[in-house]
Amino acid sequence: MKNFKKFLAVVLALVMVATVFAACGGNKDKDDPAKTELKVGFIFLHDENSTYDKNFMDAAIAACKEMGVKYVQKTQIPESKDCYDAAVALIETDGCNIIFADSFGHESFLIEAAKKYPDVQFCHATGTQAHTAGVANFHNAFASIYEGRYLAGVAAGLKLNEMIEAGKITADKAKMGYVGAFTFAEVMSGYTSFYLGAKSVCPSVTMDVKFTGSWYDEKAEKEAAQALIAGGCVLISQHADSMGAPTACETAGVPNVSYNGSTAAACPNTFIVSSRIDWTPYFKYMIECVQKGEKIATDWTGTIETGSVVLTDVNEKAAAKGTVEKLAEVKGKLLDGSIKVFDAANFTVKGEKVTSYKADVDTDANFEKDTEVVENGVFFESKFRSAPYFDMEIDGITLLDRNYG
């Protein structure tokens, strides 16, 4: 009996030890994002009524579903301390392991949150500071959307040619209008690449630009488009997030190249095509990195090849004949490198060819130009950081106003 009691005591002791180790192991796994259910928190500047934010939302939902992780969102988060508070709530209340914010002005507040929560990964679209901030868990991402804008510009140029050939306008009246939000490099890079795409097929094209001072202001965007049309612009494009410009074009019967998604349903007679960034590849990438315990790139740039830069279907009711075929041809040349969007042979600044240019890559308060970005006659956009830094005012484009926020 005494031996049995000793045996029983030993068994009980072993069970207790095993229980302790199991508990410790369980807690460890609970703290390891790779071994628990991942939750990804998304911070959006507006809601699904903004074409810009909806583009992110659709990609985020699709990526989270495919990767088997939980999707959590906060909408209508301004570029203020509200962003920091939203990030904290997503972590403290919702238990998110990854935080993503979609607007340029969110960046500084997201960096502060990243410093407070070093075990959470913070990813940010369109930002410029990750490569200089020195915060290991903060990351920037963008895509070579200038290639998509260039392609959309080709479609615009073909439409201008069709209008010239039909006698609707003369070659010297081939003027486009562009509704931009701010006079930031991101916007300037976009409208310049769009213009260069149009110019590649319609050499006489010029373009006027107006800025609204807001990423989303339907009234201001509509009024800007109307003013451009009144000023003689025969085709309109945009880098602003509402339906203001497209609906103004539909009402006026003016062809439109939109951004971030098709407007064909609302503007069937004037919508030609739209370029956009498909954020699904990046969202899948950042989730997979956390699942595998791998480092997320400090600066990530998606391309046509990664499936990050895409065009909508061409609306053949409004587009010029042959647009689909021409876009396929030009896309192939962008992929094989025979076309460079910012080839300095194709533009001038104040009548002069550009052979050298320093851009503000390492963002600072004084916007100091710090990095040579022209190599072998080409301005290399998104090579030295993911976010655009092209800010030259090239000949053929007239800024009717400016807005720096």
Both 150 and 261 in one domain: the answer is yes
- Here the tokens at position 86 are 């939203």
In a domain, 126, yes or no: yes
Q: Are residues 182 and 232 in the same domain?
A: yes
Provide the CATH number for the domain around residue 178: 3.40.50.2300
In a domain, 21, yes or no: no
> Could you read off the pLDDT tens digit of each residue along the chain, which spans 405 residues?
444 444 444 444 444 444 444 444 444 444 455 546 899 999 999 999 998 999 999 999 999 999 999 999 999 999 999 999 999 999 999 999 999 999 999 999 999 999 999 999 999 999 999 999 999 999 999 999 999 999 999 999 999 999 999 999 999 999 999 999 999 999 999 999 999 999 999 999 999 999 999 999 999 999 999 999 999 999 999 999 899 999 999 999 999 999 999 999 999 999 999 999 999 999 999 999 999 999 999 999 999 999 999 999 999 999 999 999 999 999 999 999 999 999 999 999 999 999 999 999 998 878 899 999 999 999 999 999 999 999 999 999 999 999 998
User: What's this model's pTM, rounded to 2 decimal places?
Assistant: 0.89
List the domain range (segments joined by +) for residue 193: 146-276+310-342+383-399
Coil, helix or strand for 318? coil
Q: Residue 98 domain-assigned?
A: yes
Evaluate whether residue 350 is within a structural domain. no
Q: Are residues 82 and 162 in the same domain?
A: no
Flag whether 206 is in a domain: yes
**b/e for 133-145, b at 16 or more Cβ within 10 A?**
bebebbbbbbbbb
In a domain, 136, yes or no: yes
96 Cβ partners below 8 Å, 6+ apart? 39, 40, 41, 72, 90, 120
Same domain flag for 140 and 166: no
Lookup: tokens for 5: 């009691």
Instruction: Count up the domains in the chain and report the number.
Output: 2
Q: Are strands 138-143 and 121-125 parallel, antiparallel or unpaired?
A: parallel
Long-range contacts made by residues 230-234, C-beta under 8 angstroms, separation at least 24?
231/177, 231/400, 232/173, 232/175, 233/175, 233/176, 233/177, 233/207, 233/208, 234/160, 234/163, 234/168, 234/169, 234/173, 234/174, 234/175, 234/176
365 domain residue, yes or no: no
Vertex 279 angle, CA 155 and 215, to 5° = 70
Residues 206 and 317 in one domain: yes
DSSP string, 150-206: HHHHHHHHHHHHHHHHTTSS-GGG-EEEEEES-SSHHHHHHHHHHHHHHHTT-TT-E
Same domain (yes/no): 256, 212: yes
Residues 188 and 202 placed together within one structural domain of the fold: yes
Cross-strand bridge partners of residue 237: 178, 257
All residues at 6 or more sequence positions from 137 whose CB lies less than 8 Å from its CB, including other chains: 114, 117, 118, 119, 120, 121, 122
Which tokens in the block code for residue 127? 């930002």
Q: Is residue 185 located within the same domain as residue 119? A: no
For residues 135 and 162, state if they share a domain: no
Q: Are residues 91 and 162 in the same domain?
A: no
Backbone angles phi, psi at 218, to 5 degrees: -60, -40
367 lies in some domain: no
Same domain? 175 vs 108: no
173 and 221 co-located in one domain: yes
